[in-house]
Amino acid sequence: MRVSPCSLRLTMQRIDELLEKTSRTFALSIPLLPQPTRRQLGVAYLLFRVADTFEDAVDWSKDRRITALREFEDLLQTPSQDRARELGTAWAAGRPIEHEGYLELLRDAAVVIEAFSGLEPAAREIIRRDTLRTAEGMVGFVERTKGGQLRLRDLDDLRQYCYTVAGIVGEMSTDLFLLGREVEPDLADSLRARAPRFGEALQLVNILKDAAFDGDEGRSYLPAGVARDAVFELAHADLEIAAEYTNDLQAAQAPRGVVAFCALPIRLAYAALEAVQLHGPGSKVTREQVFAIVDAMDKALDAGSPAVPLEEPVGSSPL
């Protein structure tokens, strides 16, 4: 499916609008990236968000959720705007989730597929490969649900879930960062090895932050037999690895936008984790805190200081 340059420009404007309506953190961090990585990760995020919407659709039957994920997989394998428009209309009409931004994304599935088709072939194949891996993994977890609820068994099960929905995203992002750039093989291997822990870190923070809301919605990602302190400990360890990953990119003189894209969600995650530990699930980082964190990150990058300091909880000092 060929996409004209004019059509692609309009499509990418719509992609930016959909990012703002479906994400808080990534709507802040994706615009920091240089092109073409910004375009690639913007499209990739929305594709993953479509799959997430079906995985989160607790009001749908198990079979309906799996069918939607399979339809989505087929669409990625053989992109078609007409088919995307047909599927998107049907998906949104079924209201898999009560979030207007996500429903708007489903209705605009054809726009996302057009943008995906307009990406460079190498980037498109990386995104296709990893989105399919995640969608397939989600099918496995949806198959385990009972009465719409997923109960994870233990810490290993939690980590496998985090890998499926976020660790793979870390791997995909790393491959896109490295695409077309000359990087020392040892650094590339090191980044790829730590990428899943980066994704796991952000997912664990979201799970801890949203535990109360998830319980109300019929989801429980915190295994009953696992102490919450153990999950906090794992999240902190993962964030430290994510910080090392980011600082290694910075030391290797990666584009500032790539470093900032990685550093900002880590700093925000540290602040969110601190808020949850102090005030419990449901606690949020305020808009003022977000501005302070962004400012602190920019000053660190301007000064050539580590993008994410390792000596203290990130996000605490500027708040």
Taking only the tens place, the pLDDT of each residue in 273-289 is 999 999 888 888 999 99
Indicate the residue type of 80.
S
User: pLDDT > 90: what percent of the chain?
Assistant: 82
The answer to whether residue 92 is domain-embedded is yes
How far is the C-alpha of 261 from the C-alpha of 33, rounded, in Å? 6
Q: 58 is in which domain, residue-wise?
A: 1-150
The answer to whether residue 45 is domain-embedded is yes
The answer to whether residue 249 is domain-embedded is no
The answer to whether residue 212 is domain-embedded is no
Phi-psi region of 215 (alpha: psi -120 to 50; beta: other; left: phi over 0): alpha
pLDDT for residue 316 = 43
- Model confidence at 148, pLDDT cuts 50, 70, 90, reads confident
Please write the tens of the pLDDT for every residue from 131-145: 999 999 999 999 999
| Continuous segment of H or E residues that includes residue 28 | helix 25-29
The answer to whether residue 135 is domain-embedded is yes
Instruction: Give the residue, 211 or 244, on which the prediction is more confident.
Output: 244
Number of domain units in the chain: 1
Q: What's the farthest any 2 CA atoms get from each other in the chain?
A: 55
| Residue 222: partners with Cβ closer than 8 Å, 6 or more residues away | 152, 158, 207, 208, 211, 228, 231
The answer to whether residue 11 is domain-embedded is yes
The answer to whether residue 187 is domain-embedded is no
End-to-end alpha carbon distance in the chain: 48
The answer to whether residue 24 is domain-embedded is yes
